Amino acid sequence: MKLQGKTALITGATGGIGFEVAKHLGAQGAKVIINGLDAEAGAARLKELTDAGVTAEFYQFDVTNEDLVNENVKAIGDKHGIDIVVNNAGGLGGRSRFEVMTTEFYRSVMALNLDSAFFVSRAAIPYLKKGTHPNIINFTSNAGWNAGGPGAGIYGTSKAGVHAITRALAKDLAEYGIRVNAVSPGTIDTDFHKQIKSTKPEVFQSWANNIMLGRLGQPTDVASVVAFLASEDAAFITAETIQIGGGQALGI
d(CA 139, CA 181): 9
- Give the pairing of strands 249-251 and 240-244: antiparallel
Are the beta carbons of 181 and 166 closer than 8 angstroms? Answer: yes
Has 155 been annotated as catalytic? yes
- Computed on alpha carbons and rounded to an integer, the radius of gyration of the chain in Å comes to 17
Q: Which of 106, 127, 155, 176 is an active site residue?
A: 155
CB 243 within 8 A of CB 212: no
The CA-atom distances, in angstroms, between 47 and each of 21, 40, 54 are 16, 11, 10
Q: Are strands 249-251 and 7-10 parallel, antiparallel or unpaired?
A: unpaired
Instruction: Confirm if 109 and 154 have CB atoms less than 8 A apart.
Output: yes
DSSP H helices, the chain, are 16-27, 39-51, 66-80, 103-110, 116-128, 143-146, 153-173, 194-199, 201-209, 219-230
Q: Side chain identity at 68, as an amino acid letter?
A: L
- Between CA 227 and CA 6 the distance in angstroms is 12
- Just list the catalytic residues: 155
